């Protein structure tokens, strides 16, 4: 089993892939809370690539693109990331745990982080269990908002 990452490119095939993934309920429920149009995906990711506030990667499992991760600075020595697996056949197989551990290793080694923060919705039990398996501990909880502006309880995990 090989998991690697490559930089997201400003490329229509990349955007088509992300649009396909983000159209799956098991992704948009946690990531956008609605299906974004192809044009919205292109605009969103072109802006992210231009602004360079996040490092954007495609997750590759055994030479197949299966998901996306974005890494960004939380403060001077702490980083945060969001990720999703966009291919349903790779869910609930322990692959997420391997991906999270690899991302953590990259952030500690290449970004020189001293800690990592994750902020999933409290109701995202599958993700929270994965993060806890990878050594994250809950340090806070607050009432925030999802991308549509709806109230959502968010927990803060730190490693």
Whether the Cβ atoms of residue 120 and residue 54 lie closer than 8 Å to each other: no
Domain 3-117 has CATH 3.40.630.30: yes
Sheet strands side by side (includes 54-61): 3-7, 54-61, 64-73, 78-85, 115-118, 151-158, 137-145
User: What are the two backbone dihedrals, phi and then psi, of residue 135, each rounded to the nearest 5 degrees?
Assistant: 100, 5
Q: Which among 115, 129, 123 has a CA at the least distance from the CA of 141?
A: 123
Per-residue pLDDT of the chain (159 residues; tens, 9 = 90+): 799 999 999 999 999 999 999 999 888 888 888 889 999 999 999 999 999 899 999 999 999 999 999 999 999 999 999 999 999 999 989 999 999 999 999 999 999 999 999 999 999 999 999 999 999 999 999 999 988 888 999 999 999
Domain boundaries defined on the chain: 3-117
């Amino acid at each position: 089993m090989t998991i690697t990452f490559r930089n997201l490119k400003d490329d229509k095939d990349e955007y088509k892939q992300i649009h396909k993934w983000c159209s799956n309920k098991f992704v948009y429920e946690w990531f956008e809370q609605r299906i974004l149009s192809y044009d919205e995906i292109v605009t969103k990711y072109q802006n992210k690539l231009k602004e360079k506030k996040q490092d954007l990667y495609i997750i590759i499992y055994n030479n197949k693109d299966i998901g996306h991760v974005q890494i960004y600075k939380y403060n001077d020595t702490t980083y945060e990331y969001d990720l999703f697996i966009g291919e349903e056949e790779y869910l609930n197989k322990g692959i997420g745990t391997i991906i999270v551990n690899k991302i953590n290793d990259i952030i500690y080694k290449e970004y020189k982080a001293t800690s990592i923060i994750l902020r999933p919705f409290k109701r995202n039990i599958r993700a929270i269990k994965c993060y806890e398996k990878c050594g994250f501990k809950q340090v806070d909880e607050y009432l925030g908002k999802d991308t549509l502006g709806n109230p959502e309880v968010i927990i803060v995990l730190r490693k």
